[in-house]
Amino acid sequence: MLKTPVIHPTIMEALARSGHFAQVVIADGNLPVGAMAGPNSTTVHLNFKPGLLDALTVLEGILEVCPVQGAIVMEKPAEASAEIHEVYKQLLGDVTWDEMERWAFYDKIRDVNTTLIIQTGEQRRFANLILTVGVVKMAEESNF
């Protein structure tokens, strides 16, 4: 029996084999994940129905079990709203942050470094998020 906050067996297995610089994708309910899977990625479908599970719940769980050093979101059109990006920034804290053009973002998901794609029931637009796995820092290594 696991005592970690995240107990989904496939997610835990994929995270366990994700080393430094691996990519974990939290996908909204609209991303065509079947067309996004790269050669090394595992896809987990958590989109039971619209709104369940949402991207923020999944992100909070991932942050409890996996170090993250960077995040990438898709650029939104100037007239669109993406408040979820600000919430991501708050939850992620001090990580590198980038925005990518839509088609480059899709190519980034298909990259060989993507080890896990988690499709959520998130309904907010522009909620797709690529996380870059960091390293587990030892107490004596707090300066890097």
Tell me the pLDDT tens digit for each residue of 22-66: 999 999 999 999 999 999 999 999 999 998 899 999 999 999 999
Question: What is residue 55's three-state secondary structure?
Answer: helix
Considering the domain boundaries, does residue 140 fall inside one?
no
**Does a structural domain hold residue 82?**
yes
The model's pTM:
0.92
Confidence of residue 137 (pLDDT cuts 50, 70, 90): confident
Whether residue 141 lies inside any domain: the answer is no
CB neighbourhood size of 72 (10 A): 20
Return mean pLDDT, the chain: 93
Q: Domain range spanning residue 30?
A: 9-133
Residue 100, domain member (yes or no): yes
CATH of the domain at 25: 3.40.1650.10
Helix, strand or coil, per DSSP, at residue 78? coil
Residue 35 lies in a domain: yes
pLDDT given for residue 141 in this prediction? 63
What pLDDT sits at residue 136? 84
State how far the Cα of 38 lies from the Cα of 117, in Å rounded to an integer: 9
- In the chain, the number of structural domains is 1
pLDDT at 143: 61
